[in-house]
Amino acid sequence: MVDPAATQRAPSAKQRIPFNLFSNSKNLTMPISTEKKLGSLLMTGFIGEEISQCSSTVNDIKEHGLGGVILFDKCLATGSRKNNITSPEQMAKLTSDLQSCSAEPLLIAVDQEGGMVSRFRSAYGFSTSPSALMLGQQDDLEKCREAAEQTSQMLKDAGVNFNLAPVVDLDLTALNPIIGKYQRSFGDNAQTVIECALSWMSAHRKSGILSCLKHFPGHGSSLADSHRGFVDITESWDREELLPYKKIHQRTEIDAIMMGHLFHKNLDPLYPASLSKRIIDSLLRQEMNYQGLIISDDMQMGAITKYYGLEKACCRAICAGVDMVIIGNNISSDPKIVTKITDSLKNSIDQGLLSEARVDQAWQRVQGLKNKLHKGE
């Protein structure tokens, strides 16, 4: 469904011209320092609907080689109902300014799933789409494709190149407080989820927008919300929840898979999936033979910060095999967060906890994802 207020599209990415204020050398032949490789493994949020030359985000992109940013419509840290997204025109300017700061394509990500999880809202002049559950219940892939095309075109016009969707969790319990409650799953049937997700991904790929399957190994059967605290899926999880990842991987190329902050003692008795080398290696890399980019869920969520600490957890995640970590910088805000995390990662290298080879491997996967941008089908 298209919102009537969204009749005037923002300029396309090809039409926009970066401000000279943010100009940066595009010399990609220079050797990449370890510090900038580490910075490229981070995706962070920031406060505000615009950036300036003195913004910490601009410094993070230019000095630390920040790999990506994530946009939010609200700021939980300040309680403001406005943050990075206020109108199509504002978004086109913001994303253009962000890109012009970077010596290479910057990943600009958002959670635009549809329904209740939509950062781009009709109140700000953007088109809206039904929830995943509504699309799955219609049993009409054409409707799903239309919604995905509308969403991906809107993101393209806004300068966003990475949609952290679709959700491929199976809706296995009515008591789920974060997937089922918000209608984020296409349904409880694995085949329905697979077909809808493939349609969603195809439409995004045609628009040159990257997509991301989430939340591995499956959040749909949980009885708790990882935003708030520890989530143990040991008793509720079923191996059927892996089917969407396996079947989709067999039928098309997956841009990225997001690790959930989900603990399963039989899969790893010590760590949740997002920090687990055992789960990443055994289920994703070996059983599925998935060699693409693995990204974490927001590392500021309660499931991580209440038990592991942000900086140590980011190091643990990358050591475990996560290639890029998200620090939303929205639940709490710290303008120096990129410096703190990169310093912590450097210390881990110095202490022999994180190898240069693992950093290079993750960096290469991030570069591989960026190389897909704007290719389309």
DSSP 81-119: S-SS-S-HHHHHHHHHHHHHH-SSPPEEEE-EEETTEES
Specify the pLDDT at position 228. Answer: 87
With beta carbons less than 8 A apart as the criterion, state whether 227 and 301 touch: yes
Distance of CA 373 to CAs 75, 88, 208, 255, Å?
A: 28, 21, 6, 10
Asked whether 318 and 325 are in contact (CB, 8 A), the reply is yes
Give the number of domains in the chain: 1
Asked if residue 80 is part of any domain, the answer here is: yes
Cross-strand pairs, 327: 44
What pLDDT score was predicted for residue 28? Answer: 45
Q: Which residues of the chain have pLDDT under 50?
A: 1-28, 377
Tokens, residue 302: 């309660």
Q: How far apart are CA 186 and CA 96, in angstroms?
A: 33
Whether 57 maps to a domain, the answer reads yes
In terms of residue numbers, what domain contains 47? 43-110
Residue 346's pLDDT is: 97
Mean pLDDT of the residues in the chain: 92
In this prediction, residue 8 carries a pLDDT of: 35
* pLDDT value, residue 27: 42
pLDDT of residue 5: 36
SS (H, E, C) 314-326: HHHHHHHCCCEEE
Q: Is residue 341 part of a domain?
A: no
In a domain, 54, yes or no: yes
- Which pLDDT belongs to residue 25? 39
Helix residue ranges per DSSP H, the chain: 34-40, 56-64, 88-101, 132-137, 141-158, 190-206, 243-251, 277-279, 302-305, 310-320, 337-350, 356-371
Q: How is residue 241 written in tokens?
A: 């929840």
- For residue 357 the two structure tokens come to 């080879």
Measured between alpha carbons, how far is 367 from 377 in angstroms, rounded to an integer? 19
The pLDDT value given to residue 374? 62
Model pTM score: 0.92
Tell me, what's the pLDDT at 29?
53
pLDDT at 139: 87
Domain assignment present for 299: no
Residue 198 lies in a domain: no
